[in-house]
Structure formats: C-alpha cells, structure tokens
Amino acid sequence: MARNHWLRRFGIVLIVVWSLTPVYWAVNTSLQTDVQVASKPAHYLPPTPTLRNYRAVVSGGGDIPNAIRRSTVNIFIECGVATIITVALATLAAYAFARLRFRGSKILFFAVLATMAFPAYTTLIPLYKIMSTFGLVNTYTGIILVYVSGFLPLATWILHSYMSSLPLAIEEAGRVDGASRMQVLWHVVLPLAVPGIISTAIITFLFAWAQFLFPLVLSSDLSTQPLTVAIAALQGRHLVPFTLLSAAGVYAIAVPALIVVTLNRYIVSGLLSGSVK
C-alpha cells in the first residue's frame, strides 16, 4: 500500500501542475507591465501586481475595449440562446425516444447519434453557403442555428440516458391517475430530470463558448463576432502587447473557469452518462 500512496501522490501532483500551470502563467503575465514581462529570468510572481492590462482590455473608448465589450455581449447572447433552444428541443425528443414507441424512432435516433461520429467541420462550407443563401451570415440567428444543430445530438443523447434511468413507476402512477402524456412530462418527468437538464445545459453552454472556426466563418464583423473571434483578431495584430493579450485571455476564460469551479459535479455526470454502457 505504501508504494500505491507514493504513486497516487505523484498522480495528484501531475494533475495539479499539468492543469494549472498554463493558467497560472497567463494570470501572472496579465498582472505585470511590459517591462517586467521582458525580464530574464521571468518573474515567477508579479513583482508589483497591476490591473492596468485588464483596464486597457475592458474600459475606456479605444478600439480594443470596444471590440472586447461588444464581443462579450455577442458571446453571451449566442451561447445563452443556443443553450436554451438546444436543451428545450433535446428534452422533448429525449423523452419521446426514452418513453414512447413510434414508427421510425430507431432510425431517427440512430441518425442523430451517427452525426456525432462525423467531425463538425464536415459541414462547415455547406452551412456557410446555406446561411449566405438565406442572408444569415453575420446575424445572431445564423450562428445560433448552427450551434443548435451541432449540439443537439449530444444533448439528446445525454438526456436520453438520464431519462431512461428514471424509475418508470412514478410516471405510470401519473398515467393511471388520468394525466395525459404531456402532463406527465411536464409535472412528473421534468422535475425529476432537472439534474440531467442542468448537466446538458452547462455542457452545451461550454461547447458554445469555445467555438471558433464556425463563428469565424459566419461573422465578418463585430456586430456578431463572439469573444473567441475578437481575441484571435487581437492576437493577429502585432502591436498588441502580450501582457494585454494575456489579460484578454484570462478575461475570456473567467466564465468557463467559474462554471467548472462551481458546477463540476454536473459536468462530470453529464459527460459520463451513457458514455460507458
């Protein structure tokens, strides 16, 4: 057992150092001035921590803070709306697949799952073409439609696994009492499925927050560009100092990091539901 303990300690250190070092380093860089960052060897702790990089990123009227603020609004709208629609549609479909018998259900469910095996970028160019045909390039609608279609299969799969694991007896009792299927879904199944729905919503939101190539193609200016695209554009401009870029990076990961810190139980259970069966 003693050796096992030694190995586990090594594993724990591996996980902590591996996961946190890059994030720590970005925070450390973002709290320094350009002069401090240029020092060799580097400052492993910020000598005089300053928030001026963060102020330069988000406040004032310059080009950069304008882009960051606007793209922050965009990313919240796109991720929020896409998450709500995805979870709502996936919940309805997952209930039907898990509990109702109907012709074609197996084929449709298989088709939904099969799309998960395809790389998302298979449809990059045709989706761009479709959106440009309907005048939806550079609109929230275009990006949200693409997100919903992309995340629906996984959301349906997670919720299907979750609902299949719920006890049938309560639903049947509801049916015996004369409630309709919709009433059972609304008053019995939904309250029981809340943890699964939360998991699905968080995972969908995080996936949406991380998107880059699709919004890069589907949004040509700041009216719809999400934070990821705006930050990549900053990085492409050579005059933007790395301290400022690091502050923008830390700013962009604050929301997903906060979600992981507070809601990680839901993420883990969602990712694992149905994955190993």
- For the segment 68-107, give every residue that binds another protein (CB under 8 A): 89-90, 92-93, 95-97, 100-102, 105
Of 55, 186, 232, 237, the one binding another protein (CB under 8 A) is 232
Stretch that binds another protein, among 61-69, 76-84, 127-135, 168-176 (CB under 8 A): 127-135
Touching another protein, residues 236-265 (CB under 8 A): 236, 242, 245-246, 248-249, 252-253, 256-257, 259-261, 264-265
Rank residues 48 and 133 by Cβ distance to another protein and give the closer one. Answer: 133
Rank residues 45 and 61 by Cβ distance to another protein and give the closer one. Answer: 45
Per-residue contact string for residues 164-203; x = within reach of another protein by CB under 8 A: -----------------xx---------------------
User: Least distance (Å) from another protein to the CB of residue 256?
Assistant: 4
Q: Whole-angstrom Cα distance, residue 183 to residue 185?
A: 5
Write down the H helix ranges in the chain. 2-30, 34-37, 52-58, 63-99, 105-117, 124-133, 140-164, 168-176, 181-184, 190-192, 194-210, 213-218, 227-236, 242-272
Rank residues 61 and 224 by Cβ distance to another protein and give the closer one. Answer: 224
Buried b (16+ CB within 10 A) or exposed e, 15-54: eeeeeeeeeeebbbbbbbeeebbeeeeeeeebeeeeeebb
Q: How many residues are given for the chain?
A: 277
Phi-psi group of 39: left, alpha or beta (phi > 0 → left; psi -120 to 50 → alpha; rest → beta): beta
Count of residues interacting with another protein (CB under 8 A): 95
Touching another protein, residues 8-67 (CB under 8 A): 8, 11-12, 14-16, 18-23, 25-26, 29, 37-38, 40-42
Q: Whole-angstrom Cα distance, residue 95 to residue 87?
A: 12
**Phi, psi for residue 219 in degrees, rounded to 5:** -130, 120
User: Least distance (Å) from another protein to the CB of residue 84?
Assistant: 13
